[in-house]
A and B are shown apart, each in its own frame.
Chain A
């Protein structure tokens, strides 16, 4: 699958041959650091690029565009998991020297796994289980009726919603709780059926 680069991105990447291989190495070293810091925002702050700019002898905008173009190239390639041949064909259209092409390819292959793991964490997550507190109570009397026996289980479910701890209070009688447990055990038991086993085997 070939990566299609828009005209703007081609122009951004056009600065790369000018700064040469050294520039590429420098942008690689803190480019990867950038990914882990900015994540989805993908914004570059001007201050950070000053030391690089001095070494590369190029304008701030050029450097910013160059790094952005490089980031786009590498993130899209890692996201789509394109093969080496496809990557080489995609950057061939930029018309760089062979040496630069090889450097880009090496950069892609070295950092592909790390980029993929960072991209994997950017997907939205549902609230996940943190802990459960419970108590078993018996209601003996109320304003309207004395001499009762009414057992109830009260639960406080702690959930982790993107670093936020939320709680839900639930209350049930023992028979509903038993039904709940039975349904959950049936759900766990589904993993052992032939259908699920076949799918799990094919996914490996």
Chain B
């Protein structure tokens, strides 16, 4: 059986097994859990107050994300508490929802097809329609966040520049040469420190560099 949301491949066995767990939760609760999983996939934090300040901000936001995911898991636990599911089942339900939603966004499956394929796998109609409605609302933002998380070898964090004018040197008394100092900040790994690449460029070389980059920019504009 080929499924579009699995990328035209067979559905994994564990997904088939855990869909029966999803069927045991009521469709209203399923929609709420779905909303929580979507929030986590989109990397949103729920209202946790984050202290502001330059040093603390990145660490604080990482901590807030961790707290948020713990709080979301506890929220989900509370929601499923009366469905009499074991903790292993709750984790399985979250994993299955994560798989279905992220794969559907990955393969650009619309809500209708997703709903019919889930019903083929044995999910009851109400559950499937509820799930697909939440999916459709967040489909484009999911795809945007997945696009941002795709493989990227390095990123330019920033450029600083300075123009100097050399008046005189030990070799020649009257030099009179302009010089551009460039500092490129390149980030190689997502959460690493950016690497600083300094360079000094003479006027002619800088003119050539600028002309080539402008040509590249024009090419990029034709594609957008």
Contact = CB atoms under 8 A, between A and B. Distances in A.
Nearest to A169: B153
Contacts of B153: 154, 156, 169
B212 A156 contact: no
Nearest to A133: B151
A146 B215 CA distance: 11
Contact of A141 (B150, B151, B219): B219
Contacts of A140: 219, 223
Range class of the A interface residue count: 10 to 19
Contacts of B212: 143
Interface in B174-224: 212, 216, 219, 223
Nearest to A147: B219
Interface of A is mostly: strand
Contacts of B152: 135
Interface string A138-155: 001101001000000011
Nearest to A132: B151
Contacts of A141: 216, 219
Interface in A135-192: 135, 140-141, 143, 146, 154-156, 169
A143 B150 CA distance: 26
Contacts of B223: 140
A129 B152 CA distance: 20
Contacts of A143: 212
A134 interface: yes
A154 B152 CA distance: 9
Interface centre among B150, B151, B212 (most CB of A within 10 A): B151
A135 B219 contact: no
Nearest to A143: B212
A169 B152 CA distance: 11
A87 B208 CA distance: 82
A135 B150 CA distance: 8
A154 B216 CA distance: 21
A172 to B, nearest CB: 14
B219 A134 contact: no
A141 B213 CA distance: 12
B219 A156 contact: no
A158 to B, nearest CB: 11
B207 to A, nearest CB: 15
Contacts of A169: 153
A143 B209 CA distance: 11
Contacts of A135: 150-152
A93 to B, nearest CB: 53
Nearest to A134: B151
Contacts of B216: 141
A102 to B, nearest CB: 44
14 contacts: A133-B150, A133-B151, A134-B151, A135-B150, A135-B151, A135-B152, A140-B219, A141-B216, A141-B219, A143-B212, A146-B219, A154-B153, A155-B151, A156-B151
Interface of B: 150-153, 212, 216, 219, 223
Given A133-B150, A141-B216, A143-B212, 6 more contacts: A135-B150, A135-B151, A140-B219, A140-B223, A146-B219, A156-B151
Closest 7 CB pairs of A and B: A133-B151, A135-B151, A141-B219, A156-B151, A143-B212, A135-B150, A169-B153
